[in-house]
């Protein structure tokens, strides 16, 4: 079962990033109250990284037990580990370097320093997901465990950005990655956005998450947002595909919202 999209519109990107940070901190605290830990899948891009910086800058971030947060990435550039455009490096500089994380809970997709091909890195990341799922299953023997594929751990929140071409993670229109239904993680070649080699979670993996938050700002994304929320085919419009099991939340600014179907529009209250 998946949740229909909800749209929350904020006046500009600065307000939006602050709202995402506040929402994320609150959600992580709630998850830790319920499960003792929380798992989040991070995204790159200006909004994703800007929102992480807003978390780091918030005094409320101290309410989270960061040593019990599991971090994964929705996608990564298959370049050297020290390259500035690596999502993991940007996330480290924006947030992870400023909070007391447990390094064993930070799961970074492999780089070109470690693997010969993006497919090799993808297979390794799938292995890490499988091992995390097995450890989680062994630790949770309760009768009310949520149903999900046995090779994936519980993903509480998946953060996604959207490109002007409507790509999410590194799943691009009409390419093999967005069509993949069997693999949990896929190696990406010929990305229309540099660099050409990447590693990405697949749509079926993303859609095991309890909540998917799609964060978008800018007029250049408005067409992609409008098509996705109008119910386009995900093969042509990948942003139409992500659905959380309990919540699918579009957090967007006013510029990105100009083509959102009117019936979906919900203006966020100040600070939401």
> What is the percentage of the chain residues whose pLDDT exceeds 90?
87
Q: What is the DSSP string of 155-173?
A: --EEEE---TT--BTTB-T
Q: Kindly compute the dihedral angle of the four CA atoms of residues 22, 53, 268, 218, in this order, to the nearest 10 degrees.
A: -170
Rounded CA gap, 129 and 124, in Å? 9
Strands 157-160 vs 38-42: parallel, antiparallel or unpaired: parallel
Do the Cβ atoms of 158 and 248 come closer than 8 Å? no
pLDDT tens-digit series, residues 6-51: 999 999 999 999 999 999 999 999 999 999 999 999 999 999 999 9
**Is the pLDDT at 211 greater than 60, yes or no?**
yes
* pTM (2 d.p.): 0.92
Residue 75 backbone dihedrals phi, psi, to 5 degrees: -160, 165
pLDDT tens-digit series, residues 69-123: 999 999 999 999 999 999 999 999 999 999 999 999 999 999 999 999 999 999 9
Cα angle for residues 131, 134, 135 (degrees, 5° grid) = 90
Confidence of residue 271 (pLDDT cuts 50, 70, 90): very low
Considering only CA atoms, which of 67, 2, 55, 49 is closest in space to residue 26? 55
CATH 3.90.1170.50 assigned to domain 5-263? The reply is no
Residue 3: predicted pLDDT: 77
Confidence of residue 266 (pLDDT cuts 50, 70, 90): low
pLDDT tens-digit series, residues 129-186: 999 999 987 766 444 444 444 689 999 999 999 999 999 999 999 999 999 999 999 9
Exposed/middle/buried for 159, CB within 10 Å: 0-12, 13-18, 19+? Answer: buried
Residue 150: predicted pLDDT: 62
Helices (H) and strands (E) in the chain, counts: 7, 9
For the CA atoms of the chain, what is the radius of gyration? 17
What the block records as the tokens of 126 is 């799938």
Each domain of the chain, given as residue ranges in start order, spans 5-263
pLDDT tens-digit series, residues 234-258: 999 999 999 999 999 999 999 999 9
Residue 151: predicted pLDDT: 87
Exposed/middle/buried for 263, CB within 10 Å: 0-12, 13-18, 19+? Answer: exposed
**Is the pLDDT at 65 greater than 50, yes or no?**
yes
Q: What's the sign of the alpha-carbon dihedral 264, 267, 269, 270?
A: positive
């Amino acid at each position: 079962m998946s949740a229909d999209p909800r749209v929350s519109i904020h006046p500009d990107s600065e307000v939006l990033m602050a709202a995402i940070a506040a929402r994320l901190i609150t959600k992580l605290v709630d998850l830790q109250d319920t499960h003792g830990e929380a798992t989040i899948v991070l995204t790159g891009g200006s909004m994703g990284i800007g929102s992480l910086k807003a978390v780091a800058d918030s005094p409320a971030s101290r309410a989270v037990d960061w040593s019990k947060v599991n971090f994964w990435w929705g996608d990564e550039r298959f370049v050297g580990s020290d390259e500035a455009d690596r999502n993991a490096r940007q996330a480290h500089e924006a947030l992870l370097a400023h909070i007391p994380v447990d390094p064993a809970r930070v799961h970074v997709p492999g780089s070109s320093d470690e693997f010969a091909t993006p497919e090799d890195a993808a297979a390794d990341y799938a292995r890490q997901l499988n091992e995390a799922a097995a450890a989680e299953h062994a630790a949770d023997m309760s009768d009310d465990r949520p149903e999900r594929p046995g090779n994936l751990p519980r993903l509480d929140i998946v953060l996604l950005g959207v490109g002007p071409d409507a790509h999410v993670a590194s799943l691009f229109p009409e390419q093999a990655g967005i069509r993949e239904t069997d693999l949990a993680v896929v190696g990406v070649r010929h990305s229309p956005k540099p660099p050409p080699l990447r590693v990405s979670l697949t749509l079926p993996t993303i859609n095991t998450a309890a909540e998917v938050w799609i964060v978008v700002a800018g007029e250049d994304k408005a067409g992609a947002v409008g098509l996705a929320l109008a119910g386009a085919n995900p093969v042509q419009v990948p942003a139409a595909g992500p659905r959380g099991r309990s919540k699918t939340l579009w957090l967007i600014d006013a510029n990105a919202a100009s083509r959102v179907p009117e019936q979906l529009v919900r203006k966020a209250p100040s600070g939401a």
